[in-house]
C-alpha cells in the first residue's frame, strides 16, 4: 500500500487500482515525490534515495519544471487567449494543475489531461475532473493519431481553433528508436494553425561540463531503474519544434524562461538540466 495513499495495489482492495505496478518505480510517482506528494511505494522511495545520492538537489529540477508549466499556461490563457489545453503526460494531481491555472483566468477553458499511468488516471478522475471543462484520458502519448481520435479528446477540443499541446517533461521518456522527432512533427501537423506547443525536456549539453556529467549520471540512473529516459542536447530538443515560431526567449533552462523575479542565489548545475520552449504554429 502506498504510504498515506488512498489507493491500494491489490485489485481486491476496496480502493484497489488494477494495473499499478509496484515492482518498478513509476515516473509519475517519483516526480510527484520530488514535488512533495505522498502517493508512493517502497520501490519509488528506493529510486528517490538513489537519485538523491547522485544529486541532493534533484527535487529542484521537478519544482522548476512545474513552475515553468504554470507560468506558460498562465501566459497562454491571459495573453494569447488560448482556451483549450491538451496536457500530455500530465502526472499525478498536484498543488497547481493546468485547469486550475487556466480556469482562474478563463473559467470556460477546457483541459484534457492524458497519461498512461493507472494511478494518475485514478487520482486524476477523482481530483481533476472538477467541472464540465476538465477531462482525464488514459492513453499513450507516443501515438498522436490515436490520441487525437480518442472520443473524449475529439469531443472536448475544437480542432478548428488553436489548442495548446503540452509535452512537459514527457518526451525525454520517449526512446531514440521511438523517433521523438517524428512524433513531435506529427503532433505539430495535426494541430490547427495558431496552436502552441509547450516542450520541456531533460538536457545534456554533452560538452564535458559539470552539467553534462550530472545529466549523464541522471540518465544512467533513470535507465537502470525505469528502463527508459534520455537527456538530449539543446539542438536535438529544438529540432522537435521544427516549423514553429519559437517565442522569446527561445529554448532555455526553464528557470530562465520569463522568471518571476531576479535570482537570490547562484545557479546550480541542476538548474541547467530542465530546458523548455514554447512554439506557435503559424
Ligand X SMILES: C[S@@+](CC[C@H](N)C(=O)[O-])C[C@H]1O[C@@H](n2cnc3c(N)ncnc32)[C@H](O)[C@@H]1O
Residues lying near ligand X in the complex (CB under 6 A) are found at 27-28, 31, 65-66, 69, 89-91, 115-117, 120, 140-142, 168-170, 173
* 166 vs 121: CA distance, rounded Å: 17
How far is residue 135 from each of residues 90, 97, 110, 159, measured CA to CA in Å?
12, 12, 8, 16
CB of 199 to ligand X, least distance (A): 10
Which is nearer to ligand X, 25 or 234 (by Cβ)?
Answer: 25
Other CB atoms within 10 A of residue 52 CB: 13
DSSP strand pairing (84-88 vs 110-115): parallel
Which is nearer to ligand X, 61 or 244 (by Cβ)?
Answer: 61
CB of 94 to ligand X, least distance (A): 7
CB of 102 to ligand X, least distance (A): 14
DSSP 133-197: TEEEEE--TT-HHHHHHSHHHHHHS-TTS--EEEEES-GGGS-GGG-HHHHHHHHHHHSPTT-EE
Q: What are phi and psi of 193, to 5 degrees?
A: -60, 145
What SS3 string covers 97-116? CHHHHHHHHCCCCEEEEEEC
CB of 198 to ligand X, least distance (A): 9
Which is nearer to ligand X, 176 or 207 (by Cβ)?
Answer: 176
CB of 90 to ligand X, least distance (A): 5
Which run of H or E residues covers position 24?
none
Which is nearer to ligand X, 59 or 89 (by Cβ)?
Answer: 89
Which is nearer to ligand X, 170 or 210 (by Cβ)?
Answer: 170
User: Residue 166's Cα: distance from chain center in Å?
Assistant: 7
CB of 168 to ligand X, least distance (A): 3
When CB distances to ligand X are compared, the closest residue is: 89
Which is nearer to ligand X, 71 or 173 (by Cβ)?
Answer: 173
Amino acid at each position: 500500500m502506498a504510504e498515506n495513499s488512498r489507493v491500494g495495489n491489490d485489485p481486491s482492495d476496496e480502493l484497489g487500482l488494477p494495473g499499478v505496478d509496484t515492482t518498478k518505480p513509476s515516473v509519475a510517482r517519483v516526480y510527484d515525490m520530488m514535488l512533495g506528494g505522498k502517493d508512493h511505494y517502497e520501490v519509488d522511495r528506493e529510486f528517490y534515495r538513489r537519485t538523491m545520492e547522485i544529486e541532493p538537489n534533484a527535487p529542484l529540477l521537478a519544482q522548476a519544471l512545474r513552475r515553468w508549466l504554470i507560468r506558460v499556461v498562465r501566459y497562454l490563457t491571459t495573453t494569447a487567449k488560448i482556451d483549450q489545453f491538451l496536457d500530455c503526460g500530465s502526472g499525478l494531481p498536484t498543488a497547481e494543475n493546468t485547469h486550475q491555472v487556466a480556469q482562474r483566468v478563463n473559467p470556460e477553458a477546457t483541459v484534457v489531461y492524458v497519461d498512461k499511468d493507472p494511478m494518475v488516471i485514478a487520482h486524476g478522475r477523482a481530483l481533476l475532473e472538477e467541472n464540465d471543462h476538465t477531462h482525464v484520458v488514459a492513453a499513450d502519448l507516443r501515438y498522436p493519431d490515436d490520441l487525437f481520435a480518442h472520443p473524449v479528446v475529439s469531443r472536448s477540443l475544437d480542432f478548428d481553433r488553436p489548442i495548446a499541446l503540452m509535452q512537459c517533461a514527457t518526451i525525454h521518456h520517449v526512446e531514440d528508436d521511438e523517433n521523438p522527432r517524428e512524433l513531435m512533427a506529427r503532433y505539430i501537423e495535426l494541430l490547427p494553425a495558431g496552436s502552441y506547443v509547450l516542450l520541456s525536456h531533460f538536457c545534456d549539453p554533452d560538452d564535458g561540463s559539470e552539467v553534462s556529467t550530472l545529466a549523464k549520471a541522471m540518465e544512467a540512473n533513470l535507465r537502470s531503474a525505469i528502463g527508459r529516459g534520455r537527456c538530449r542536447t539543446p539542438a536535438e530538443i529544438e529540432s522537435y519544434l521544427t516549423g514553429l515560431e519559437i517565442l522569446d526567449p527561445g529554448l532555455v533552462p526553464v528557470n530562465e524562461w520569463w522568471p518571476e523575479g531576479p535570482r537570490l542565489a547562484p545557479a546550480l548545475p541542476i538548474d541547467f538540466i530542465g530546458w523548455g520552449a514554447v512554439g506557435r504554429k503559424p
